[in-house]
Structure 1
Amino acid sequence: MAKATNIPIDVKWLQITATDADWKKIGKPECIKMLTHLHIIRAFEETLSGLNNNGLIHGPLHLSIGHDGAVVGAMSELGTDDLVNGSHRGHHVFLAKALNHVHEQNVESSAGKFSPAVKDTVYRTMAEIMGLQPGYSGGRGGSMHLRWKEAGVIGTNAIVGGGVPTAAGAAWSQQRDSKGKVVLTAFGDGSCHIGNVLETFNLAALYDLPLCFYIENNGYAVSTTVAEQARETRMSARGIGFGIPSFKVDGMDPISVRMAMQKVNELLRNGQGPAVLEVDVYRFYHHSGGVKGSAFGYREKEEEQEWIARDPLRFMEAKMINLGWLSQEDCDAMGAEAAELTANAAARLTVTSNGTRTIREELWPDPNTCDDSLRSNLEELEHLDYVEQEHFTGTLAPTKFIAAIAKNMVRRFDTDERLFVLGEDVHKLIGGTNGATKGIPERWPDRCVPTPIAEHGFVGLAGGVAVTGKYRPVVELMYPDFGLVAADQLFNQIAKARHMFGGTINMPLVLRTKVAIGTGYGSQHSMDPAGLFSMWPGWRIVAPSNPFDYVGLMNSALLCEDPVLVIESVELYNKVMPAAVDNDDYFIALGTAKVVREGAKFTVLTYLNMVGRAMDVCEEHGIDAEIIDLRSLDRAGLDWDTIGASIEKTNHVIVLEQGCVTNSYGGLVVEEVQKRYFDHLDHPVRRIHGGEASPVVSKPLERAAFVGAEEILTGFEQAIADQG
């Protein structure tokens, strides 16, 4: 019979419970401050519930009653410079952190004297949740997207678990600053089964990040019990498998939570992070709205009553009365004053006429601002002097495309200490899988961050770094198809952040990836990402066709406050073309196309490796076409001055791309061309594109799926035939 030996676990997993000595050590003033914050949050939620019953809250309302005591305990151990984010149920997280930021210290009693800063915090938070202009994001974020940079709240998140990788990026920035500051990310038991959360556990442990995974285990993901979600119902057990010290605590006891957070802080501030803090709490109402869960049949009334009897607010009051610090009258007065505070905020936002309560009309955002803040206005680039290759005064020499990429990145790292690169294998293989990071890991090993195969996690981490604003990530996505693994972070988070938070946030991030069509890597490694990314207006997209343009556009992208996708081509990597030798410090403007070949018969709009292919076909067959290298592909970046001038000359347009039609970029361009220049078109806009299916591995089938010289020639000949 085989011998079995227990494997030791070399990581802490502790249950924390406060004692009377802990209460006394914290002291009366600090406990009164915590109780005051808890009363404000409770009254705030109850006021919101009433507004919701009057139809004045648009969208879901995830109340935090029952979760509020635990978060007050945790936040009492954080300072303004510590950062937090949260999930869709985030009012309590936001308010607890915000009140710590603004509230008077060492409050002996509430005495009905809330500061103007506290009143303004409550008012603006309520306005944001109601979708009104005075809110912190101008009403854009609402209940689920609450952000206040000055208070250290980097944003709550409507995607379950979606903000966890962002918090890891913020923690990476905090760690690099070496100032002993920490990050807390709050999420629920339902998030613990989502891949990006587990990926982030691993990344945070791998990089020793000062990050607290604050798990609110309330027993239900909407109506699904924890036991129906997982065999192991103690969510803090997730940390053990990643080597993360973990703590479990009764979340209905705010002081126990505070004591556990002290232990977490000790680890994090001393460079021994991350840590997991699981708090057992209970939401007193259904997932959304102010109705009890038992009304929907998934909880018993007896269960609800048992938990409500353990209300953390009443628990704190009873304990402080028992210690002789407060009387019941004091506690009642605090509750009444908090209720008055939140009622006054609601009164400032609403008006009652003939018994009907409505939103004050003047507080609604202007509908004309609907599309504002989708992207930067590029004022950060206004100081740059732009130059095209034909006007460049430096030395040009034949250079491999990939060598120019690597050389320029080394130069950029030399001139901008904010930059760092991360991705799979970027630190080895003599510059990563294609050589683009050559020279960086040797000189800046701390700025060349290798990652596990965890695109969801490390892309989100990069987004979190960008959110904090101090460092600028350059993410290498080995193949664009892998972006579908990280789709939530790329499109729900990074692309939407600026607009969602009312323009209060920048997202300076560059994402490099390559089109590998024709290399035999098959359906899941051969995607052209232009069509997908162009659907999300937060992204800027550049696709340089030569090394000179690549360097100029990359230099601009690295200074842009928007996320920029830089598309490269495997076909171009080893091509030798003119590139700068002694000066990589030039810029090419984002949003500019270029006529690379003049002609009269028709206009070709194309990008990346198809530029050279189209020029070769025209030269070989004597075709009089005007070819425009689009260079910037996002909708806002299309250069309609250059495109329009050509169309007005030729009156005939071809949109040329290499990849398949089913996720193509060309449809966007065709629609815009026909809408803008219909009166100048003598013929329908033609498209040259690949087949319906993605390329597969078999060489003849792969070749049949994408566009080469033969398909370009056929398309050009058809355009000539259009003209008789």
Structure 2
Amino acid sequence: MAKHSKLSAEQPWVELSLTAADRKQADPDVVLRMLAFTQWVRTFEEYVVELAAEGLVHGPAHSSIGQEGGAVGSLLDLRSDDFVNGSHRGHHQFLAKAFGHVVAPGTGLPELTAEVKDVLRRTLAEICGLDQGWSRGRGGSMHLMWRQAGAMGTNAIVGGGVPQAAGFAWNQRRAGTDAVTVTYFGDGAVNIGSVLETFNLAAAWKLPLCFFVENNLYAVSTHVADVTAEPRLSARGPGFGIPSWRVDGMDPLAVRAAMAEAVAHMRAGNGPTVVEAEVYRYFHQNGPFPGSAFGYRSKAEEKEWRDRDPLTRLQTHAIEAGLLTEEEVSALRTRAVDAIAEIGDSFLEAVSGGKPGERHIIGDLWPDIAFVDVGVRGDLSELQGLRYATDEPAGEKEEMRFIDAVSAVLARRMEQDDRIVVLGEDVHRLNGGTNGATKAPLQGFPERVLGTPISENAFTGLAAGMAIDGRYRPVVEFMYADFMWVAADQLFNQAAKARHMFGGTTAVPFVLRSKLAAGTGYGSQHSMDPAGILATAPGLRIVAPSDPADYIGLMNTALACDDPVVVLEHVDLYPTSGQVPAGDLDYALPVGRAAVRRHGDDVTVISYLSMVGHCLEALDSVADVQADLIDLRWLDRASLDWTTIETSVRRTNRVLVVEQGARGTSYGAWLADEIARRLFDWLDAPVQRVTGGEASPSISKVLERAAVARTDEVVAALRAVKNA
């Protein structure tokens, strides 16, 4: 008979509740502050629901009515340098954090000061999509940010903000502070991969991050018990080595007590925590109707939870403790209702000729439509002062391998800028990662070369959080470009959109290095060229160096840029060598300037990365074709060097776009279309293209060769262009 020994988690998992004696001992100032904040949030949310019912909120307005106790209780004692972020249902958390920033503690019952009213005004304006909002109306209900208050952004992707919170926490710890981060998410997000990846990463790195689970029992209309065998969601914590608390979220004082213990644990440097608060949203996922109206909840269940209302409990406590009279409690609500109605009235006017009481937004309050694309990316003013090299720099040269240039320039920038941190899988082992790219950084700055779990979504989001906070500048390595799909949410939905989404001023100094490995036998899931996909995200800048000298200059520019930059590296280039300025790792190459590698009048050949070398070989083989060969360097639409392209095409009147990857994800497809649109009058023939096949490269050597483009395909295309 096998022997069974019972195991137990190393970290505690407890349920916290308060006794009657605990409540009697509650600090009166704390109770009054909590009551005021909860009343302000409740009244605000009720007003938003009214506006939504009138059609005055464009898009969703996920109210938190019923859930305010968890937010106020957990946020009451946080400082302004403590960070929070949250989910699509985040009005209550955002407001509670903002109130804490503008209302000093220990002042009895807080007043609706000008600062508090400004918080309410700007938040309502943002939810309504108005220019006076925190992000000038771009974020709306689901994307609320006020950096000065430590409110680092709510997020419409379920669980999407959790990895970023780990980045905030990493920055706080690295900066030597005892500040903490709290990331809010619900029962729907707790089973999402990126959330669980972040649990593991935060525990492994002992980050001061609280995972605050608002368990409101329903993900839209699906009950938590229908989708998980353990509906006590704080049980996730001990499995990752994280101490966890479970508390009644309808009891703000109990939430505050649990949070006090969790925050003390984190401020002491002991790593992350989990707090699960059982709460209840009184209304459906979105809109002014209860869940019972849609049949997935009973009215009896809703009544049971409403009988435990957090605002009512605070009001009762204040009255029974002799802190306020019933009249004063009523007056508190009246003042909040009047203040928020006054703010709302300042945004609204009667519809001319409309029905009685019909209102609409005052036209002058909308953002100017000229603002629509402002702030998709920065203006590059941060690059002023960089020392740019010419295409043919004077002075002594030395031979350098491409992979050594990667390693050397990273180490040089880390020497000059202690904000730069490198992270990725195996970057801290194998004498510099799987290809040696981090060899010099590892030798010089091992504490800033962070080996991550195999959790691309988590560590990409962590790096995005580091960048959004701004104290550090992460350099992420993806072992293969295909892994971008694994981290697609954090790369495309988060890092690429953050600046624009939050009003156009949020810098995201984030660099992603990724290698392309077509031709190495690694098959369909390790061989893609992602340039065509990356170019669909307007917030990303894309760099594609083809030789060591370019790599140094382009990486220096990327690391100085306040936009997210993806640096593509082809493994075929790693062992190659080229001439670089001797002893100079500090020059830069400007954004938006291509290089002309060969001159000729017959055709303009446009390429990037390793295919530049294949184009040179092809041109040497086809002696009767003289071509301009343009090495793009920068691939994103905003940084493309149209001046160089147009100058060449006006002379040659023919274009051949050359890339290695598959047709389905082609970069050249959109480029050819754009050239045809811009330069149609100068073309004597349709734009021609060299690409790989339709399918991704496979393992078989002959099938892989058939799926990618190399020199032979360029030779054939040049001859076809010549004979056309």
TM bracket, shorter-chain basis: over 0.9
Confirm whether residue 33 of structure 1 aligns to residue 29 of structure 2.
Answer: no
Residue-by-residue CA offset, 1:638-681 (whole Å, 9 max, x unaligned): 00011100000100001000111010100111111011100000
Distance in 1, matches of 2:17 and 2:650, equals 76
Task: State how 1:487-636 maps to structure 2 within 5 Å.
Answer: 487-622=488-623, 623-636=625-638
Tell me which residue corresponds to 1:198. 196
State the Cα distance separating 1:277 from its structure 2 match.
0.3
Distance in 1, matches of 2:712 and 2:297, equals 66
State the Cα distance separating 1:22 from its structure 2 match.
3.8
State the Cα distance separating 1:204 from its structure 2 match.
0.3
The alignment partner of 1:663 has SS state of coil
Tell me which residue corresponds to 1:686. 688
Distance in 2, matches of 1:369 and 1:11, equals 50
Tell me which residue corresponds to 2:145. 147
Moved over 6 A (4+): none
The alignment partner of 1:473 has SS state of strand
Distance in 2, matches of 1:551 and 1:201, equals 36
Distance in 1, matches of 2:488 and 2:695, equals 21
Match of 1:288 among 259, 274, 286: 286
Contact 2:547 2:577 (8 Å CA) reproduced? no
Contact 1:398 1:576 (8 Å CA) reproduced? yes
The alignment partner of 1:662 has SS state of coil
Distance in 2, matches of 1:458 and 1:667, equals 32
Q: Which amino acid aligns with 2:259?
A: M
Task: State how 1:107-506 maps to structure 2 within 5 Å.
Answer: 107-110=107-110, 113-353=111-351, 355-393=357-395, 395-506=396-507
Single out whichever of 624-633 and 29-38 deviates more from structure 2: 29-38
Tell me which residue corresponds to 2:698. 696
Q: Which amino acid aligns with 1:40?
A: W
Distance in 2, matches of 1:151 and 1:25, equals 30
Contact 2:12 2:243 (8 Å CA) reproduced? yes
Single out whichever of 41-50 and 336-345 deviates more from structure 2: 336-345
Contact 1:511 1:564 (8 Å CA) reproduced? yes
Contact 2:9 2:239 (8 Å CA) reproduced? no
State the Cα distance separating 1:26 from its structure 2 match.
4.2
Q: Which amino acid aligns with 2:115?
A: A
Q: Which amino acid aligns with 1:595?
A: V
Distance in 2, matches of 1:249 and 1:351, equals 44
State the Cα distance separating 1:130 from its structure 2 match.
0.4
% identical equivalent positions = 50
Contact 1:104 1:115 (8 Å CA) reproduced? no
Confirm whether residue 48 of structure 1 aligns to residue 37 of structure 2.
Answer: no
Contact 2:183 2:212 (8 Å CA) reproduced? yes
Change (3 A) 1:176 1:22: farther
Contact 2:391 2:595 (8 Å CA) reproduced? no
State the Cα distance separating 1:324 from its structure 2 match.
1.6
Q: Which amino acid aligns with 1:381?
A: L
State the Cα distance separating 1:606 from its structure 2 match.
0.4
State the Cα distance separating 1:388 from its structure 2 match.
2.4
Tell me which residue corresponds to 1:100. 100
Tell me which residue corresponds to 2:643. 641
The alignment partner of 2:184 has SS state of strand
Tell me which residue corresponds to 2:718. 716
Single out whichever of 668-677 and 318-327 deviates more from structure 2: 318-327
Tell me which residue corresponds to 2:19. 19
Residue-by-residue CA offset, 1:493-515 (whole Å, 9 max, x unaligned): 11111111111311100000111
Distance in 2, matches of 1:272 and 1:229, equals 32
Distance in 2, matches of 1:402 and 1:461, equals 26
State the Cα distance separating 1:389 from its structure 2 match.
3.9
Match of 1:669 among 665, 668, 671: 671
State the Cα distance separating 1:590 from its structure 2 match.
1.4
The alignment partner of 1:439 has SS state of helix
Tell me which residue corresponds to 2:72. 72
Q: Which amino acid aligns with 1:358?
A: H
Q: Which amino acid aligns with 2:70?
A: A
Distance in 2, matches of 1:241 and 1:411, equals 40
Contact 1:30 1:107 (8 Å CA) reproduced? no
Q: Which amino acid aligns with 1:459?
A: T
Distance in 1, matches of 2:464 and 2:389, equals 30
Single out whichever of 57-66 and 433-442 deviates more from structure 2: 433-442
The alignment partner of 1:236 has SS state of helix
State the Cα distance separating 1:104 from its structure 2 match.
4.1
Distance in 2, matches of 1:26 and 1:306, equals 26
Distance in 1, matches of 2:596 and 2:240, equals 54
Distance in 1, matches of 2:344 and 2:656, equals 57
Q: Which amino acid aligns with 2:411?
A: V
Match of 2:653 among 639, 651, 654: 651
Q: Which amino acid aligns with 1:475?
A: V
Distance in 2, matches of 1:271 and 1:472, equals 23
Q: How many residues align structurally? A: 719
Q: Which amino acid aligns with 2:654?
A: H
Distance in 2, matches of 1:266 and 1:593, equals 54
Q: Which amino acid aligns with 1:182?
A: V
Distance in 2, matches of 1:305 and 1:708, equals 69
Single out whichever of 9-18 and 127-136 deviates more from structure 2: 9-18
Distance in 2, matches of 1:125 and 1:563, equals 28
Contact 2:203 2:272 (8 Å CA) reproduced? yes
Single out whichever of 602-611 and 322-331 deviates more from structure 2: 322-331
Residue-by-residue CA offset, 1:226-262 (whole Å, 9 max, x unaligned): 1101000001001111000000000000000000000
